Amino acid sequence: MASKISLTRYLVEHQRVHAVIPSDLRLLLEVVARACKSISHAVNKGELGGVLGATETENIQGEVQKKLDIIANEVLIEANEWGGHLAAMASEEMEGIYVVPHRYPKGEYLLMFDPLDGSSNVDVNVSIGTIFSVLRKPDNGAGVSEADFMQPGCKQVAAGYCVYGPQTTLVLTVGDGVAMFTLDREQGSFVLTEEDVKIPPDTKEFAINMSNMRHWDTPIKTYVDECLAGVEGPRGKDFNMRWIASMVADVHRILTRGGVFLYPWDKREPGKPGKLRLMYEANPMGWLVEQAGGAASTGRERILDVVPTQLHQRVSVILGSKNEVEHIVALHAGTPAP
């Protein structure tokens, strides 16, 4: 029987044999995986670990923080701050960047994360996850500032997520395709379970929060109307719909069997370009999807080309099966941007 390939072995081979990643990036990814393992254990304990429910604080986005949002954020910071591989971190749950304290050595990478994605699902025992993105600090001397993070998603050197569902699965790209690792709880390690993940280019499944329909822009309304018209409509086929309300779980389904995910700009907050955050949600997910042969767009621009100006910047997100995303982008052509 072929021996199982652990995440450690996969990363070592990527460093040594394929020379795709340097050793300090390998260390960084191992540490992030270890933190995800620890978050997975906390998630699994649920009520028994006293981790469910909300706190009395709000994050910078004005969202009430769940206990697990805070716990996951602390786990990721504590795991990553001392290893010498990072210059700074940024998180959905922190207003500014977290510079590695002076007592620890500094590295050349910047880590961004959504420590707990799908907070509304925490207390109801539905899949949630952690999303992360890694950039290299620009070569601009000592010190690190928020400006160093303002790089488009196409500059990412690693990205991934860990979904805490019926299984805990870590999904990773370092720019040479997408690999999936399932947590073996008895061994305590992530084991390679899927390599060279590919998203089918066509699909009959879409994911969007339909309750926002009245707030959408015309191209999104047109697209969903086409899907709902089914076999008699312009698409000539019946569509199925899913909406888990955890981006990690929706994207995981798309990486597994195809589909399209939309969280577009809508009129509720006209000044903001959508709900999801560019740096630690859209960019890592967009790169994973592209690496699996799919596409990721705002409707008018490739997500990975958006140059950020703020850490918590929002963006309109349309990602998944390539032909479907291209169809939605075509519906935007020639229409005025909101």
In terms of DSSP H, where are the helices of 168-282? 218-229, 247-257
- Beta carbons within 10 angstroms of residue 19's beta carbon: 8
The answer to whether residue 299 forms part of the interface with ligand AHG (CB under 6 A) is no
Which positions ≥6 away from 81 have C-beta within 8 Å? 89, 98, 100, 101, 104
Cα–Cα distance for residue pair 219/245, rounded to 1 Å: 22
Binding part of the chain for ligand AHG, among 38-46, 221-229, 245-253, 318-326 by CB under 6 A, reads: 245-253
The answer to whether residue 27 forms part of the interface with ligand AHG (CB under 6 A) is no
The answer to whether residue 205 forms part of the interface with Mn ion (CB under 5 A) is no
CA distances 186 to 30, 128, 190, 191, 290, Å, are: 18, 22, 11, 12, 33
Segment (H or E) for 31:
helix 23-45
Of the pair 190, 263, the CB lying nearest ligand AHG is at: 263
Cα–Cα distance for residue pair 161/180, rounded to 1 Å: 10
Candidates 30, 117, 217, 266; binder of ligand AHG (CB under 6 A) is 117
Between strands 128-136 and 158-164, the pairing is: antiparallel
The answer to whether residue 117 forms part of the interface with Mn ion (CB under 5 A) is yes
Between strands 178-184 and 189-194, the pairing is: antiparallel
Candidates 55, 140, 209, 218; binder of ligand AHG (CB under 6 A) is 209
Candidates 30, 81, 114, 324; binder of Mn ion (CB under 5 A) is 114
Of the pair 128, 224, the CB lying nearest Mn ion is at: 128
Of the pair 11, 248, the CB lying nearest Mn ion is at: 248
The answer to whether residue 316 forms part of the interface with ligand AHG (CB under 6 A) is no
Candidates 15, 28, 73, 92; binder of Mn ion (CB under 5 A) is 92
Report the interface residues with Mn ion, using CB under 5 A.
92, 114, 116-117
Report the interface residues with ligand AHG, using CB under 6 A.
63, 92, 114, 117-120, 209, 245-247, 263, 275
